[in-house]
Amino acid sequence: MATIDQPRSETAGKQYKVLGTRPIRHDGADKVTGRAIYTNDMQLTGMLHGRILRSPHAHARIKSIDTSAAEALPGVLAVCTGADFPDVKDKIAELGEGAVNLAHLSANVMAHDKVLYKGHAVAAVAAKSPHIAEEALKLIRVEYEVLPHVLWVLDAMKDDAPLLHDNVYTEELGGKQSDKPSNIAKHLHFEQGNVEEGFAQADIVIEREFKTATVHQGYIEPHVSVALWNQDNRLTIWTATQGSFTARQQTAEVLQIPVSNVTVVPCEIGGGFGGKISIYLEPVAAILSRKSGRPVKIVMSRAEVFEGTGPTPATFIRVKLGATRDGKLVAAQAYLAYEAGGFPGGVIGPGCMCVFSCYDIPNAVVDGYDVCVNKPKTQAYRAPGATQAAFACETVIDEIAEKLGIDPIEFRLKNAAKEGTRRVDGPVYPRVGFIETLEAARNSDHYQSELTGPYRGRGVASGFWFNVGLKSAASASVNPDGTVTLVEGSTDIGGTRTTVAMQLAETLGIAAEDVIPRVEDTDGVGYTDVTGGSRVTYATGLAAYHCGLDIIAQMKERAAILWDCEPDQVEFADGTFTGPGQSATFKELARRLLETGGGIVGRASVDGGGATNGFGTHIVDVEVDPETGKVTILRYTAVQDAGKAVHPSYVEGQMQGGAVQGIGWALNEEYYYDADGRMRNASMLDYRMPTAYDLPNIETIIVEVPNPKHPYGVRGVGETPIVPPPAAIANAIYRAVGVRMRELPMQPHKVWKAINSQE
Amino acid sequence: MSAATSAYVFLPRIRRVPSPPTPQLAAEIAALKDFEYAAAATVEEAVSLLAARGDSARVLAGGTDILVQLREGLRSVDLLVDIKKIPELTVLEYSPETGLKLGAATPCYRIYGDERLRTAYAALCDATRIIGGWQVQSRASVGGNLCNSSPAADSIPALIVHSATCQIAGPSGVRELPVEEFCTGPGRNALERGEFLVSLTFPPPLPRSGSHYLRHIPRNEMDIAVAGAGAWLALDESGRIAAARVALSAVAPTPKFAAEASEYLVGKAPTEEVFREAGELAKKVASPITDMRGPAEYRIHLAGVLVRRALTKAAERAQSGY
Ligand SMILES: Cc1cc2nc3c(=O)[nH]c(=O)nc-3n(C[C@H](O)[C@H](O)[C@H](O)COP(=O)(O)OP(=O)(O)OC[C@H]3O[C@@H](n4cnc5c(N)ncnc54)[C@H](O)[C@@H]3O)c2cc1C
């Protein structure tokens, strides 16, 4: 086994029956037998197939669209364009993990007057077969006035850059606005202490510049939506989404219909990583359904996914750090320019918050810019904005440690953020487990082992991500056989049906297998925010816990009826109710509910608040082929604080999956554009995500420093593990061949070039 | 079976798909335009079908290039002529005396899976083992790899270093062509209207000979060569190089035979120095472009490195009798 559990002292005292075990996942049989229902499995009577016409240009004004020939094609039942979308005013909608301007959302879903990137949707067709729909797209005539485009953040910030929006102004701190429209939609500024004085105290100051590439979440399931707009104006949408309620809200607002008219049925989801929070197909399928009177399904191709849905941004980052001779960081400064894509509202905010979030630095300044470029609107991608920032910061940290002759883990330990550390954007940390992850990394078999051989090197990097709390609801009914049916609204991407069910089981003192979890649609469960922000096991788990407490309280009343005593005379512990001279297990009592007043339904709706923070440290050994620049990963270990690993296999899975995605960013993944602003590698062959052949076994070490805000100490674990890999690998390459890589991805030709220009 | 009725099947729209199509299948075929499908039973039948349709017809071997291209709208055809059912097209005949005759549609797995070919045509086995994964290798043919004529095709340098000859059937009979003269540009080749490749023949292996093909790809699987090199050499009794052939892929509009490098090697001792020099000479035939697979200067550099490595392994094999 790759996994070494190292429970820390804090949890050692707490004994759990269910938490920390590895039951078979509740949805396992459906998934391995191919019976799980994904959106593309939906087949409704009379269903039409929709296809979307997309812009061939990176930037153009739409002069006219003529759909008459497409409409006349036999088998075509509806055509829609931006003109079919209601005019929505600028309004900000909160989506849990980020906010969106509805006018921009609407124009992103279907271009209204301008196309802002190649692949931007301009029209859609619904026909009796996908084949006819495809033919119909070719009959749509779009007249474009092609405009100059801009593809790189620093170019887009120049005064004479092509302007994407004439109504976007730079928003400064305190609500001030630039007087001219600009591609720079926002300037963020955070500060603490006094950086000038800080740098003056430093014995060593290092300032470096970094570039990262546009990368895609790369979920295996392309976007798919099915919509049925019924005669009574009720709209049902089956879709692949991370958040059924946010999909409902966005769709309703873009279409300007009441949320209560929309039911979103979240089907099984084949990955999201932040990319399935924004809507794309839902309102298009809905409009086509309204126009045709039939259900409409739209499935994206892989190229459409790359070109038309949210990647995460390319960035330019400058980081300056100062430290004293004995290795104490005294000052830090960062400049971060993040591409937003075609519309404002990228991931610059968390980028700024995360750049120095691992360290206790008294004096720091961070400036961030949200910049429009002619690429797809960027979206969240696993710890959105943090991986880019960590690549920059953690590489400079490594360089300082090296120059000072201090072991990179020791250097981090000297400066590690801990309880009471104030992050540059304000918050003060509660109890966090960063120091413990560093210690576990230092003591690991991997770090203690010797790495020998030419062109080999070991790198270390750390990473941070928030756990957003947000809102979750759950209800549960007790069955006469003592099992409990749990209804939740969190779409299950990482095994959360099981981790949430396990928390209910722990609370009720029953087995994980005795809870039957179900993810319900927006009419079947209370409001629940997105599956994102590393929140579900934390916040929906919290809802399940409270739901369990509600059930116990109600069961005590039933026991009191049976035992002819007061409810407060009934105690509950270890799955057993005890009253005066009587006792019954949960199962025994469950059997008697119908004779004591009927079934029991527990319910809870919680706001998880700002949850807490997750830290991780990764160690990687690489070998570089000096003649080709190709990097081979020899060994990889991820260490992370999980608070409490509810189901350790899923924690390991998250750590491994995140590390693998980060390795992809590090080595090969990028959007490769030609001079006309067209992505040239919009396929899985040429986009080059890592395959199983490119990866070693990812070893994992789970550290458990309980989250003080959760009854079981749970911290979110999903996102942090993507943050350290690029920096860890860059640091390892340096130790292997002596070159500092400051641009992602670090493809063979770049590493070769760096080695070559060094000699 | 008469060609007119059973072998030549007209396919209106998507009717070839089992009905009702599964949703996945329906979505997948969405982008495919109508085309007709004909399974030729003989070489003559294939020639007449192809000759009658000209550019709007294409041969279908394993389909691992053509079907992908059709689906992605990179190519459009009115007729696909399936050649897999013609017996000559899937032969694999070998003897140490006469060499190898390979039907153009023979799938890759049969080549690298044949023990007899492992040492005799090692570079060809190396190349067929890395074309796609095993699913692709179960269908993909060397003839298809050659006729698709991609500059990055993995089997072509191997065919060149093994001195393969093409047998091409056409309206005026069968003609032969050395494989290095087959490709004329990216996606273009020497086939004329009505012609198709029937087989490839390889001279018998020489004693003390060895060969190797390798490529550079950023990933370790599922990738297109940034540069590739094939090398073959035969040693004389004293251990010097008696004959050698070097070829490159992905560094020019077509795979290239590196004549100067090959000639340079003759009479030399198989040393690292010599192989390095051969690599330098081979670079002269490289004229790559800069694209998403890598910058031109890097590809030229790789050509030298890969040729040296290919020769080193080929020599090891020649010496060890692999
Ligand atoms: C996932 C995947 C991975 C791949 N990996 C690689 C790789 O690593 N290296 C590599 O080189 N290729 C790779 N390919 C491309 C492809 O598999 C190979 O080029 C393969 O050898 C093509 O053979 P085929 O029999 O499938 O050809 P087909 O697709 O049937 O035909 C290819 C072309 O040649 C023509 N043609 C075929 N046979 C003849 C003939 N006898 N006479 C005249 N014309 C003919 C066809 O009309 C068509 O234009 C990959 C493809 C896929 C889908």
Write out pLDDT tens, residues A120-132. 999 999 999 998 9
How large is the average pLDDT for residues A444-462?
98
pLDDT category at A97 given cuts 50, 70, 90 is low
- Residue B231's pLDDT is 98
Residue B203 DSSP class:
P
Average pLDDT, chain A: 95
How large is the average pLDDT for residues A313-320?
98
CA dihedral B3, B4, B6, B10 (to 10 degrees): 130
Statement: residue A174 has pLDDT above 70: yes
Q: Which tokens go with A696?
A: 């070693």
Statement: residue B30 has pLDDT above 60: no
- Residue A611's pLDDT is 66
Statement: residue A177 has pLDDT above 60: yes
DSSP, collapsed to helix, strand or coil, labels residue A180 as strand
Statement: residue B31 has pLDDT above 60: no
Phi, psi for residue A220 in degrees, rounded to 5: -70, -35
- Residue B288's pLDDT is 96
User: Cβ of A680 and B226 within 8 Å?
Assistant: no
How large is the average pLDDT for residues A373-390?
97
Residue for token digits 């730079």? A170
Which residues is B265 bridged to in the sheet?
none
Up-side HSE of residue A130: CA atoms within 13 Å toward CB? 20
- Residue B14's pLDDT is 33
Contacts of A753 in chain B (CB under 8 A): 298
- Distance of CA B65 from the midpoint of ligand 1 (Å): 4
CA-nearest of A502, A498, A503, A473 to A488 is A473
Contacts of A43 in chain B (CB under 8 A): 23
Q: Which tokens go with A48?
A: 């039409």
Statement: residue A5 has pLDDT above 70: no
Is residue B58 in contact with ligand 1, taking CB distance under 6 Å?
yes
Digit-coded pLDDT (tens) for A238-270: 999 999 999 999 999 999 999 999 999 999 999
For residue A684, give the chain B residue with the closest CA.
B222
Digit-coded pLDDT (tens) for B104-143: 999 999 999 999 999 999 999 999 999 999 999 999 999 9
- Residue B221's pLDDT is 87
Do A1 and A700 touch, CB atoms closer than 8 A? no
- Residue B6's pLDDT is 33
Digit-coded pLDDT (tens) for A9-42: 444 457 999 999 999 999 999 999 999 999 999 9
Do A294 and A404 touch, CB atoms closer than 8 A? no
- Residue B22's pLDDT is 47
Q: Closest ligand 1 atom to the C-alpha of A685?
A: 1
Average pLDDT, chain B: 91
How large is the average pLDDT for residues B295-315?
98
- Residue A14's pLDDT is 72
How large is the average pLDDT for residues A93-102?
75
Is residue B145 in contact with ligand 1, taking CB distance under 6 Å?
yes
d(Cα A229, Cα A262) in Å, to the nearest integer?
9
Helix, strand, coil percentages (3-state) for chain B, rounded to 5, are 40, 25, 35
Is residue B132 in contact with ligand 1, taking CB distance under 6 Å?
yes
Phi, psi for residue A233 in degrees, rounded to 5: 70, 15
Domains of chain B: 3-82 (3.30.43.10), 87-202 (3.30.465.10), 209-320 (3.30.390.50)
Kindly report the number of other CB atoms within 10 A of residue A300's CB atom: 22
- Residue B19's pLDDT is 40
Is residue B100 in contact with ligand 1, taking CB distance under 6 Å?
no
DSSP, collapsed to helix, strand or coil, labels residue A679 as strand
State percent of chain A over pLDDT 70.
97
How large is the average pLDDT for residues A269-279?
96
CA-nearest of A153, A182, A212, A118 to A675 is A118
Do A165 and A372 touch, CB atoms closer than 8 A? yes
pLDDT category at A474 given cuts 50, 70, 90 is very high
How large is the average pLDDT for residues A176-181?
94
Is residue B250 in contact with ligand 1, taking CB distance under 6 Å?
no
- Distance of CA B100 from the midpoint of ligand 1 (Å): 21
Burial A682-700 (b: 16+ CB within 10 A, else e): bebebbbbbbeebbeebbb
pLDDT category at A758 given cuts 50, 70, 90 is confident
Q: Which residue has the higher pLDDT, B4 or A494?
A: A494
Statement: residue B23 has pLDDT above 70: no
> Which of A649-663, B28-42, B209-223, B260-274 comes out lowest in average pLDDT?
B28-42
Statement: residue A332 has pLDDT above 60: yes
DSSP-derived pairing of the beta strands B79-82 and B57-60: parallel
Which helix (DSSP H) or strand (DSSP E) does residue B280 occupy?
helix B272-282
- Residue A9's pLDDT is 41
Residue B2: CB partners within 8 Å, gap ≥ 6? Answer: none
> Which of A138-147, A536-545, B26-35 comes out lowest in average pLDDT?
B26-35
Digit-coded pLDDT (tens) for A675-714: 999 999 999 999 999 999 999 999 999 999 999 999 999 9
Q: Where are the beta strands (DSSP E) in A284-413?
A: 296-299, 311-312, 315-323, 329-341, 363-372
- Residue A203's pLDDT is 98
Work out whether the CA dihedral A591, A596, A598, A602 comes out positive or negative: negative
- Residue A96's pLDDT is 63
- Residue A697's pLDDT is 96
pLDDT category at A405 given cuts 50, 70, 90 is very high
How large is the average pLDDT for residues A346-375?
97
Digit-coded pLDDT (tens) for A633-645: 999 999 999 999 9
Kindly report the number of other CB atoms within 10 A of residue B237's CB atom: 8
- Distance of CA A320 from the midpoint of ligand 1 (Å): 51
Helix A386-404 with A408-415: angle, nearest 10 deg: 110
How large is the average pLDDT for residues A537-553?
97
The nearest CA of chain B is from the CA of A481 a distance in Å of: 39
Candidates A688, A743, A747, A755, partner chain B, best to mutate (most B CBs within 10 A): A688
- Residue B290's pLDDT is 94
Statement: residue A556 has pLDDT above 50: yes
CA-nearest of A58, A174, A163, A41 to A115 is A58
Which helix (DSSP H) or strand (DSSP E) does residue A547 occupy?
helix A541-563
ipTM attached to this prediction: 0.91
Taking CA atoms only, the protein residue closest to ligand 1 atom 28 is B63
- Residue B322's pLDDT is 77
Domains of chain A: 469-607 (3.30.365.10)
- Distance of CA B63 from the midpoint of ligand 1 (Å): 6
CA dihedral B143, B144, B150, B151 (to 10 degrees): -20
Is residue B308 in contact with ligand 1, taking CB distance under 6 Å?
no
